[in-house]
Amino acid sequence: MTISIRSVEKTFGRFPALNGVSLEIADGELLALLGPSGSGKTTLLRVIAGLEFPEKGQVLYGDQDMTYTSAAARRVGFVFQQYALFRHMTVAKNVAFGLDVRKGQAKPSKSEITARVDELLKLVELGELGKRYPAQLSGGQRQRVALARALAVNPSVLLLDEPFGALDATVRKSLRKELRRIHDATGVTTIFVTHDQEEALELADRVAILNKGAIEQIGAPHEVHDNPAGAFVCGFVGEANRFEGAVKGGRFKSVDIELAAPGVADGAAVAFVRPHEFVLAPADQASLSIVTERIAPQGAVVRVDGATPSGQRIEAAFARQSAGQLQPGAKLNLSADRAYVFSA
């Protein structure tokens, strides 16, 4: 199902949560809504679900206007951060709920429901746990049940609100892969909310980055990471060292660094350099120098923490081989392979 969101506005009291958001989600797509807390991403998800209604704008499922249709009539699958499983029902009853509440002709027979529940529990790899109660499951298992429950109604769209937020790091990682696998197996249009950029970049086909109730950029993970549309996206997606300064005649200058800034208008500006885009350079070609403080190997790279003479903290990452001779306390001359400069 294609989902279209057109100039949606929503306020809570005097606080604007969504500020004219427009977004198209293709059929079968896995989209991440990424943003810091208070950016409006959960509100947007709940507007799509019908759990909140916007003051302005439209929400379309396919070409059908659903803006003010109740959640119950939309046939969405919704997964909550805190699972929201029915605590007094078994796992199987939980999963069957969406089918059990149907009426008359639309309600499948008992054996059909049982078969569907078995199939879904198998899909989320909980085949044996149908008779347990939610309280008897681990966090990861609960979220799998919630996922199976949401999928039971054959939703036109699957919506997940910070689905891995309450889980520990290992479970989080494996469930992420699981969600991707389930998405590919079912082909259902999926939108998930997260504040974890790593999660969004790893899992999603496209990422929509929200800030202060508006979408800053939408694109494939590599696009938003490598070609950020603005200072906010650049600082939020991926790690970056931030410099404040000014552009004059195509050059960015701050106290610590000087960078090429082709096409950026003169005036106050911010520049970002990702840690891995710093390279060691001879003193006469360096754009900044730092004093190293900590050197930590991390897989194929070595991470270096240091500070410029003016005191700004710098993070850099080098390939293992090129960094063999690094010592804490040593002075390093760096140049940036690539930098992002935006007018402030």
Query: For residues 295 and 302, is the Cβ–Cβ distance under 8 A?
Result: yes
Smallest gap from residue 135 Cβ to another protein (A): 4
For another protein, the closer CB: 72 or 265: 72
Smallest gap from residue 163 Cβ to another protein (A): 13
Q: Which of 37, 21, 51, 23 is nearest to 165 (CA)?
A: 37
For another protein, the closer CB: 153 or 291: 153
For another protein, the closer CB: 149 or 303: 149
Binding site for another protein (CB under 8 A): 49-51, 70-78, 80, 82-88, 97-98, 101-102, 133-136, 142, 146, 149-150, 152-153
Query: For residues 329 and 291, is the Cβ–Cβ distance under 8 A?
Result: yes
Residue listed under structure tokens 């999963």: 95
Smallest gap from residue 166 Cβ to another protein (A): 10
Report residue 139 as tokens.
């966090």
For another protein, the closer CB: 78 or 278: 78
Smallest gap from residue 339 Cβ to another protein (A): 44
For another protein, the closer CB: 10 or 142: 142
Smallest gap from residue 137 Cβ to another protein (A): 9
Smallest gap from residue 169 Cβ to another protein (A): 20
| Pairwise CA distance, residues 82 & 99, whole Å | 22
227, containing H or E segment: none
For another protein, the closer CB: 137 or 290: 137
For another protein, the closer CB: 156 or 308: 156
Query: For residues 210 and 39, is the Cβ–Cβ distance under 8 A?
Result: yes
E-only strand ranges, the chain: 3-12, 15-25, 30-34, 56-61, 64-65, 76-79, 157-161, 189-194, 206-211, 214-219, 241-248, 251-253, 258-260, 267-273, 278-280, 288-298, 301-307, 313-319, 331-336, 340-343
Smallest gap from residue 81 Cβ to another protein (A): 9
Smallest gap from residue 114 Cβ to another protein (A): 17
Give the 3-state secondary structure of residue 157.
strand
Smallest gap from residue 195 Cβ to another protein (A): 19
For another protein, the closer CB: 101 or 296: 101
Report residue 124 as tokens.
């989320």
- How far separated are the first and last CA of the chain, in Å rounded? 39
Distances (CA, A) of 81 to 48, 140, 170, 226: 17, 11, 17, 30
The strand order across the sheet containing 278-280 reads 278-280, 331-336, 288-298, 301-307, 313-319
For another protein, the closer CB: 76 or 167: 76
Residue listed under structure tokens 């950026």: 264
